[in-house]
A and B are shown apart, each in its own frame.
Chain A
């Protein structure tokens, strides 16, 4: 439901906060723990969750997410099981905006309409497809609008303004600004062009859709500089997964909650 997304951004705007969006790979470290991971992140302050449905050939992802996706696939994660996870999370968190992040082939293989309508039934609010540019998105966008699912398109630092305008017009969820030239993966610092990109996108998107920034964000300092440039949300992916790689069980969940808390504090500019 797009309402959950709009409602969340409205609520945060009133409080003067930015949104913390956390990405998890369904089935990593294993199917059972995925839900606890999401709970820990939400308890720590995550406002929106992206559930990654693993794909064998993730061309927009760096080593961290590649490895997590592969591990999940080896343990038997499937798109169907990922939607099952979504419906479990939905039961526990009725108003939490939930997105699926995956690659176009997962939808195409099942049938775009079939998969999107099953996603809707499982309680999903929208999709992020990093290999679905606006030129190829007719059926996807039409189906999303029929089912009241949100679409998230990506924008890159090299996106020309005319194209940016088209992307903003096609987007119903939020604009996903890719912070750097590159793939996903935690980074140590950002350059000026990242902040310039955010400002340029915000100029065009205005009040139509919120702007979220992702790829490489891993510290509260990153979050603060990105929000200062005008972003309404930050997306944390690889940095979340890095917190999971060498810890397990209770300690890992505690670490995740603390990590989300520290990032959320930065979203409140504390």
Chain B
């Protein structure tokens, strides 16, 4: 049973808890609290209440008929996580963990954020549950994403720019871990993806697996069958594992995780840890990471901040090794094409992260039969990205013009 992992904190050989000793008791406390509340009906009812009444679950499974007709291949369905409060799947996890923290009696929540999506998700959950939120954000991202910083502050969070290392997401995680070590008794670390030391990858997966459970039920109601393929983007891997988990033992459902190919895998400027990484230890887990031959973690690139991470959740590393899931990469350019297509054909502006999945699903649909079914997890909405896309298009149009002028 693939669904029974992790076993002893490991997904096959991946996962584990490579953490400083000070965190060992805190991780143990977290493990036993999670074990207790996972099966506690009161906890589950309360979480379910917030997910339904506050966040907007269940989300629709929408048949993208215009896009499907245009491509002329398999039917494409969209799992509309973009319609959730906050605009992304992130809130499934932040509500779950914040509620757990509250039950554990921890009033101070810390979190990392890249561009600000998880920071905003954390700030929202803490505001509604009456917890205090402090967010670590790489100094570079802090500068680039001023509006998201303000958004978090509006929601009552404090945001700290992290000036160490490459000043981006991975350093924000490092700094959150350091803060946790210093304030271990009072503080709950609310990690933003299915990454980090055990039990985080399992816990985040469990909180996100509501996505896949709903897909299974909805597609059954609409089509009376299982989908042929699921497609989801992979940064740390939380929306993807949340979509896949319920289907792991349905071997006929092909699972595709789509990473950020950036400027192309061969350019070295990408964030495709599974497609182009190697085994290593980062942020407390043994997984696939992007590193040099000496074991130093390298800088990554993606047009979408949410995929710009040099590691990936250990469960994906296992699923890749077992060939249960397939992992591909879409480039920046391909993601932009997916973004434009969904905006024009369906009137849905997707976030750049799931645009990678859309682009891949479009290619897949063309190769599949007309009555095949693909479900794409639309993990977030694209309002946050319109400026980036505008810049990208302006730059590319300029290039085209100069080419034409010659």
Contact = CB atoms under 8 A, between A and B. Distances in A.
B165 A70 contact: yes
A110 B24 CA distance: 26
Contact of A66 (B26, B164, B297): B164
B19 interface: yes
A158 B185 CA distance: 9
Interface string A69-103: 01001000011100000000000000000000001
A66 B294 contact: no
A139 B289 CA distance: 21
A178 interface: yes
B18 A156 contact: no
A135 B17 contact: yes
Interface in B1-60: 9, 16-22, 24-26
Contacts of A133: 17-21, 24
B43 to A, nearest CB: 26
Interface in B266-312: 278-284, 286, 289, 291, 293-297
Contacts of B280: 105, 108-109
Contacts of B25: 156, 158-160, 163
The binding surface of chain B is classed by DSSP as mixed
A158 B19 CA distance: 14
B178 interface: yes
Interface string A56-75: 11111011001000100100
Nearest to B16: A136
Chain A interface size, under 10 / 10 to 19 / 20 to 34 / 35 or more: 35 or more
Contacts of B26: 158
A57 B184 contact: no
A57 B170 contact: yes
B281 A108 contact: yes
A131 interface: yes
9 contacts: A57-B165, A59-B284, A105-B282, A133-B20, A135-B9, A156-B24, A160-B25, A163-B25, A183-B182
Interface of A: 55-60, 62-63, 66, 70, 73, 78-80, 103-106, 108-110, 130-133, 135-136, 153-160, 163, 167, 178, 181-183
Interface of B: 9, 16-22, 24-26, 164-165, 170-171, 174, 177-178, 181-185, 278-284, 286, 289, 291, 293-297
